Amino acid sequence: MPVISYDLPERFVAGAVGRPGDRAFYLQARAGRRVTSVGLEKFQVTLLAERLEELLDEVLRRSGGEAHVPAVTPSELRDEGPLEQPVEEEFKVGTMALAWDPDDERVVIEAQEVTEAEEDAEVGEDDPAIAVLRVRISAAQARAFAERALQVVAAGRPPCPLCGLPLDAEGHVCPRQNGYLG
């Protein structure tokens, strides 16, 4: 499969579909009428957002404030809208990569399709048939993406006040209550 590329898309967001506790997570890029959605796990959304924040903070620190990297999300870039509908998953994400392009002052995010080797927990060789979503965004867009992604993850099930594990609508077996429903 080819590399699906977006250079400064109009929109690049993380989102979820479904009820808390049973949500499917997606990265979604849009340029004009072209929309690409790829599925991933909740922990991958969290890691990507956290690593983006770390990368931007490091670029800002190393440049001595010279790089065009905002310290916080510009308010005009905040995106609280739903995912573009219908959400049609191109592929499930396995490996992700993150880089800073100093020449263009862009963040480069690559999300590679999960491979059988990854599913079997083995290291595989590069396979040209594996799909890749490559998105190049500004530092400001990256801050907005990270902020939204962390909000999407946090909007899940509330934690149990005793043990911190997620609560289901029916409750959960709380280890702090010796296995009784919390």
Q: What is the pLDDT of residue 39?
A: 97
Is 90 exceeded by the pLDDT of residue 113?
yes
Domain 3-157 has CATH 2.60.40: no
CB-based contacts of 75, cutoff 8 Å, min separation 6: none
Please report which confidence band the pLDDT of residue 123 belongs to, taking 50, 70 and 90 as the band edges.
Answer: very low
User: What's the average model confidence in pLDDT over 69-90?
Assistant: 91
Query: Are 41 and 174 in contact, with CB atoms under 8 Å apart?
Result: no
Is 90 exceeded by the pLDDT of residue 71?
no
Q: Tokens 């010279």 label which residue?
A: 66
Pure H helices in 64-132: 116-119
Is 80 exceeded by the pLDDT of residue 119?
no
d(CA 32, CA 23): 27
**pTM, whole model, 2 decimals?**
0.81
User: What's the average model confidence in pLDDT over 99-127?
Assistant: 78
Q: Mean pLDDT score of the chain, rounded to an integer?
A: 87
Please report which confidence band the pLDDT of residue 124 belongs to, taking 50, 70 and 90 as the band edges.
Answer: very low
Q: Above pLDDT 90, what percent of the chain?
A: 62
37-41, 111-115, 169-173: least confident range: 169-173
Q: Tokens 């690559």 label which residue?
A: 110
Query: Are 101 and 108 in contact, with CB atoms under 8 Å apart?
Result: yes
Beta strands 34-40 and 106-113 are unpaired
From the CB of residue 135, how many other CB atoms can be counted at a distance below 10 Å?
Answer: 24
Query: Where do the structural domains in the chain lie, given as residue ranges?
Result: 3-157
Is residue 63 helix, strand or coil? Answer: helix
35-39, 71-75, 177-181: least confident range: 177-181
| Tokens read off for 4 | 């699906």
pLDDT digits (tens, 9 = 90+) for 32-69: 999 999 999 999 999 999 999 999 999 989 888 777 88
Please report which confidence band the pLDDT of residue 155 belongs to, taking 50, 70 and 90 as the band edges.
Answer: confident
d(CA 137, CA 110): 11
